[in-house]
Structure 1
């Protein structure tokens, strides 16, 4: 019975790597130095490969080494083959890495309170070996945490800066929660100028939304009239429900059931939206475990219709505006 064993089965990666070094540098000596082997050992490997293939791979003279036509063909094939092997090994290593490790993130309070839990639950189910640490922080502290590399990335508002990279994941329009004692309306929107005639309930200046809101108002020669400043959106909602003023807040924090004594009205003229993004320090690369969590956040944070729209005009500090 004829043997089906092929001499090519003995061609291994070490022989191909030696061949690649000689072929790419046209030198047995250079190949030997780069592989930390003797010139005679590299030469023996090339002879072994030529014997197995049954063709010469190099033209050898006392002055130089040149590839034969068969050698040039093998060089091209070997490059592609080793690249495929390296890519496969890298993917296997990344798949192993994403099953373990540590991920630290910083998240704005509005997203942490409303959308983050469902994504973390899905991530924990798929990657139980990864330890995830979350800091709920207002914008100023969030950016400082990323700057100091105390967090792998943040989830928060887009702002105008060259220090960080932003990948927008959802569009979060601004609403006003207006007590009915201030207006009577059948509309589902309210002009920004109309709101300035009422006492307003706003977040404190440490929040990026407050800065963006004030910048937009200055552009339109409007001013905020308020006696109250709060840190949590839930406090704004409570105060508006008690009739103390009109609360300006993001759509994500609106309660599922609006208090019967208030209207939830989309702010227009201009329509304003906060853009929420995955935030990293410029030039920073994420670990496989961090990168996978970021991917899940891109998929799981937005509700239908909240994915970012094409670029529009933005205020100085990051609100997207529709006039």
Structure 2
């Protein structure tokens, strides 16, 4: 079948929508109910469409309504066209949401201190209109902020419960930052037993890293000499450089380059690490702006796990 090209521009979406309803349900009555119009109004629109196209679209009898061959072809074309239109409108709407959206998320302090700035700078350059709210929280507070929907998502340690979804982006090994006054070594590692004999500097009980260390201790029946506890990794680094004890830290928090005052030693026997990823409420759907930011987080922070 060939419709006259010069007449096609006169066909509007309203007529096509009515045609789709009649064609899909083979009923003028059902089409009228679904479009909140009278059956006579629906019938008039179908006649108008048939007049514009110059073909009959339906076989009408007192008992039923059936598509003609031309009607079947138009139905298939109209369905494909509306699917494409819907996809295009969705893409435009998502692009607008990203440009003018809002993102609220929580982040583990060690990640915020060392990795977050480059992510936010890159995101701001591409999407300057998006409002971003960041909360720097220890693991317990981070999980609670997601639970209460105060944050769209979190960048933090792997939860121990199944109420959250977790998307791994970084495996972060644990190191000891040991004052040179406490040890002489040419090694790049330190055994857990050796470390346990030293005065230690640890992050406080609210952190997942502290839980990881204590679980390793419990498994081996070892008791640590915990000299000081702090909330910030940078404080532990400062204390270790002053010779007050060996700081246990994730790799991302370690200072760059060699330090004449400390050794940076990978903890072994056992090797300890923490999993860092994107934490969301189980089954939660995120809007385009948070999803785009998460994609950037995977690219810039997740690259360290390679």
TM-score by length of 1: 0.88
2: CA distance between counterparts of 1:21 and 1:226? 73
Is the partner of 2:155 in helix, strand or coil? strand
2: CA distance between counterparts of 1:104 and 1:159? 19
2: CA distance between counterparts of 1:193 and 1:21? 75
1: CA distance between counterparts of 2:258 and 2:230? 20
Q: Which residue of 1 aligns with 2:248?
A: 248
Contact kept in structure 1, 2:227 and 2:245, CA below 8 Å = no
How far has the Cα of 1:5 moved from its partner? 5.5
2: CA distance between counterparts of 1:295 and 1:102? 16
- Say if 2:47 is the partner of 1:24: no
Q: Which residue of 2 aligns with 1:316?
A: none
5+ residue gaps, structure 2, are: none
The 10-residue stretch of structure 1 (42-51 or 208-217) with the greater mean CA deviation from structure 2: 42-51
Q: Which has the higher helix share?
A: 2
Contact kept in structure 1, 2:190 and 2:266, CA below 8 Å = yes
- Say if 2:228 is the partner of 1:228: yes
Report the count of equivalent residues.
303
1: CA distance between counterparts of 2:41 and 2:225? 84
1: CA distance between counterparts of 2:63 and 2:223? 83
5+ residue gaps, structure 1, are: 308-323
**Aligned pairs for 1:1-323 within 5 A:** 6-302=6-302, 304-307=303-306
How far has the Cα of 1:305 moved from its partner? 4.3
The 10-residue stretch of structure 1 (61-70 or 205-214) with the greater mean CA deviation from structure 2: 61-70
Is the partner of 1:271 in helix, strand or coil? coil
Change (3 A) 1:256 1:71: same
Is the partner of 1:98 in helix, strand or coil? helix
TM-score by length of 2: 0.92
Q: Deviations over 1:144-169 (max 9, x none)?
A: 11111111211111122111111222
How far has the Cα of 1:246 moved from its partner? 1.4
Q: Deviations over 1:66-117 (max 9, x none)?
A: 2233323332222221011001001101111211132211111111111111
Is the partner of 2:177 in helix, strand or coil? strand
